[in-house]
Amino acid sequence: MCGIVAMFSRRGPISADVMRKATQSLYHRGPDGQRHWISPDGRVALGHARLSIIDLTTGDQPIASEDEQTRIIVNGEFYDYEAIQKELEQSGHRLRTRSDSEIALHLYEDFGMQSLHRLRGEFAIVLWDARNRTMIAVRDRFGIKPLFYAFHDEKLYLASEVKALFAAGVPARWDAESVSHSVEYGGHQLRTIYDGVFQVPAGHYLLATDRHIQLNQYWDFNYPKAGGNAPQRSDADYAAEFRYALEEAVRLRLRADVPVGCYLSGGLDSCAVIGLAARHHPDPIRAFTLTFDRADYDEEKEAREMAAMVGAEFFPIPIRQDDLADNFADAVFQSEAFCINAHGVAKYLLSRAVRDAGYKVVITGEGSDEILGGYAHFRRDMLLYNREGQDPAVVAALLQDLEKLNPVSRGLLLPHGEALPLENLKRILGFIPSWIETFSARSAKMQELLAGNFLERFGNREGYHALLSDLDVRGQLTGRDPVHQSLYLWAKTLLPGYILTILGDRMEMAHSIEGRVPFLDHHLVELIRSQPVSQKIHGMTEKYVLREAVRDVITDTVYRRQKHPFLSPPATLNPKEKLSTFVNDTLRGPVMASIPFFNQKKIVALLDSLVTMDENGRVAYDPVLMVLVSACVLQERFHLAA
């Protein structure tokens, strides 16, 4: 993994000093070398901060084609690339490197944009086609790798992180409307909370010429219509095909010229990954596990048992509230986004420990919940909207059990309190996805803390209108199973905008760690999308097909365990510890007073009232406080104008 920067000027030259400054701002993504290239006319520039994983000696970028008419910079990994290298050489290409990145350059020369369908992995690409004077920027199918852009002062800027755009001269300003979207439903797939800064959506590519910029989509989930005539097969058949695809995805992600470790929790996803990885790794694999000092959030026991079963080297990393407080601001600065729990800070500390242990690459379990309906809100959808032929009393009892068995999810993954009106969304979809209801209830809590003029401007809008306006509702949602609709909407918002950011790339790359996500191998995703919903949620058993597919490589404890979301203990549950003090001091301080979207007086009143709330209430309000504190961090670090 690396950091990339590109600029395309409609008039006037690009400064080499600006390119160096922008590329250097991504040093943490690529400490093994920073290079850049500027075209002879001075109007095109490509910069690359390298983290060397494959081809340690000849893989520097930008990489040029044989005739030097095409150049590329890549952040990410392409899997099964050796076969494509041989194919390219047989067709007459002379490869300059042995890196996986170069295949994208020559595939483009041969197949144009159709070459994207040959790429397998997680990636962000910028390519300059001098012959056609076109800059092309591509983001992988799920948004695993970030790619931002802005157009300012007659220049197009592209970069792996927003801070590189700011370093290059893009103004640092809040986007008030996008802040309201982020508060309401976690953010838009195209916009960011920064004015004039956008992101290439997952599964899209951007084309830019001297006069024209456009976005095109090259991949989507394409869930089947409900009630189709697909032949039903046995559970064993579904599990067998899933096992084959997942094992191949894990095996491919073990390929590196540096050591590869695994992140391990006590959950099914990471345990499945390490169980399969151990079968294909020549030596005991290193398992890195976060531990917490509050039992409801700690999974050390289950992770240690799993590591022992597969003969992995168990490497626990204890995290305390003091650690979270001390590193909160640095982690949020790297994420460049609002957080709803300090779990991102814990992942930041995890990646630092991995780096200090001498590793550059880890395989992780992210993405499984998004393709297999792992979160509690997807199970709630299954109960509420797939209940044909079920006894209403049984459904009601199961809903009660779901609430009772998932106390840490209250307010985060399951609704708590009254939601804002969502009639228009229900009119369009025919139902309200539970995750949206959850976010809407949290947004209602947040509205109590908004500044009057901000609330007057945005409070009466239904933010989901903006979300749905940017999606192909008829082509991707209409006629699909409600659970598939929920999965799709989550995959367009929270997956790239939060899970793969705050719990993925940004926290890993903050310490030059490459995270690989086999559950988001597109071959595996295209397989599971065609399987019945009952293979994802079977009764009240989530990720059913995965459990059955990997039963032989996981412990019985993990096989029988319900989904436990990765969360750190809320600050509101530890009022005498340092993280709570940090939250209070920040929200009562001058930075919060300077942000125009929030009413500090009401925030202070909320802080004062926490002592009178029961534990459920404090847990439900913790995400609200985390959003507010992260807003303060971003305001202070980036000096954002309103």
**What HEC string does 10-48 produce?**
CCCCCCHHHHHHHHHCCHHHCCCCEEEEECCCCCEEEEE
Which tens digit of pLDDT belongs to each residue from 288-327? 999 998 888 999 999 999 999 999 999 999 999 999 999 9
d(CA 24, CA 223): 42
Task: Say which residues have a Cβ less than 8 Å from residue 335's Cβ, sequence separation at least 6.
Answer: 344, 501, 502, 506, 507, 630
Angle, in degrees to the nearest 10, between helices 578-587 and 321-335: 50
Question: Which residues make beta-bridge pairs with 363?
Answer: 262, 516
Please tell me the class of the 222-642 domain: alpha beta
pLDDT number for residue 158? 98
- Structure token pair of residue 571: 């600050």
pLDDT number for residue 342? 96
What 8-state DSSP symbol labels residue 570? P
State the span(s) of the chain assigned CATH 3.60.20.10. Answer: 2-173+189-217
> Do residues 82 and 88 lie in contact, with contact meaning Cβ atoms separated by under 8 Å?
no
Architecture of domain 2-173+189-217: 4-Layer Sandwich (3.60)
Cα separation of the two ends of the chain: 33
Helix (H) or strand (E) holding 66, with range, is none
SS3 at position 9:
strand
pLDDT number for residue 236? 96
pLDDT number for residue 97? 87
Q: Is the sign of the CA dihedral 354, 359, 360, 363 positive or negative?
A: negative
- Structure token pair of residue 39: 């075209």
d(CA 282, CA 305): 21
- Structure token pair of residue 93: 């290409």
pLDDT number for residue 613? 93
> Do residues 425 and 436 lie in contact, with contact meaning Cβ atoms separated by under 8 Å?
yes
d(CA 377, CA 383): 10
Mark residue 430 as left, alpha or beta (left: phi above 0; alpha: psi -120 to 50; beta: remaining): left
Q: At 408, phi and psi to the nearest 5? A: -75, -15
- Structure token pair of residue 198: 């956008």
Q: At 207, phi and psi to the nearest 5? A: -115, 130
d(CA 4, CA 146): 10
Residue with tokens 């103004």: 171
pTM over 0.75: yes
Q: Indicate the burial class of 57 (C-beta count within 10 angstroms; 0-12, 13-18, 19 or more).
A: exposed
SS3 at position 195:
coil
d(CA 287, CA 293): 20
pLDDT number for residue 295? 87
Angle (nearest 5°) at CA 235 between 232 and 241: 90
State the span(s) of the chain assigned CATH 3.40.50.620. Answer: 222-642
pLDDT number for residue 390? 67
Distance from chain centroid for Cα 206: 20
d(CA 382, CA 361): 36
Residues of the chain with pLDDT under 70: 1, 387-390, 408, 410-411, 463
Candidates 603, 597, 472; CA nearest to 178 is 597
> Do residues 51 and 30 lie in contact, with contact meaning Cβ atoms separated by under 8 Å?
yes
d(CA 262, CA 509): 15
